[in-house]
Each structure stands twice: as C-alpha cells, then as structure tokens.
C-alpha cells in the first residue's frame, strides 16, 4: 500500500486529489491511503528535518508545501 502524508495546509487539496483518484477508478488498481499529520501523530509545526526523517523511516510519500529552513 502506498501512503501519502498530506500537509495540514493542503489537506483539502489532498482530499480532492484522492477523490479524483477514486472516481477515475485508479483505486481498483493501486492501494493508496491518505494520511494527515494528526493521524500520523505529527504536530502541524513539525520541522522539515523531522518530517523528512518520518517519511523516510515509514516509507511514506509526502504531499506538502515546501517550507523554508530545516
């Protein structure tokens, strides 16, 4: 299963993306799950460095806006 972590700032867009994915029938071919920061136990102000480590350690795709600074 592919897990996509959605940044708090773009959760709405991520939900729309997943809806389009499902309506188009791709969900029948690929198992994808949308995960929010809250569901992952991450605070909204998680640093870029900690976020990168979390997604790498958990084999997750990060769908988020770039934040300056690490």
In a domain, 17, yes or no: yes
In a domain, 43, yes or no: yes
In a domain, 39, yes or no: yes
| Structural domain count of the chain | 1
Tokens of 44: 């909204």
In a domain, 59, yes or no: yes
Question: Which residues constitute the domain of residue 54?
Answer: 2-63
Beta strands at 32-36 and 2-6: parallel, antiparallel or unpaired: parallel
In a domain, 69, yes or no: no
- CA quadruple 54, 1, 30, 25: dihedral, nearest 10: -80
Q: Cα dihedral sign for 51, 34, 10, 20?
A: positive
In a domain, 24, yes or no: yes
Q: How confident is the model at residue 7 (pLDDT cuts 50, 70, 90)?
A: confident
Convert the pLDDT of each residue in 8-57 to its tens digit: 788 888 889 889 988 999 888 888 899 989 999 999 888 889 988 999 99
CA atoms within 13 A on the CB side of 20: 6
């Amino acid at each position: 299963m592919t897990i996509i972590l959605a940044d708090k700032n773009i959760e709405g867009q991520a939900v729309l993306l997943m809806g389009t994915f499902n309506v188009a029938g791709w969900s029948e071919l690929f198992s994808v799950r949308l995960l929010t920061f809250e569901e992952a136990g991450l605070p909204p102000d998680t640093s870029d460095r900690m976020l990168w480590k979390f997604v790498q350690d958990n084999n997750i795709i990060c769908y988020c806006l770039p934040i300056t600074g690490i």
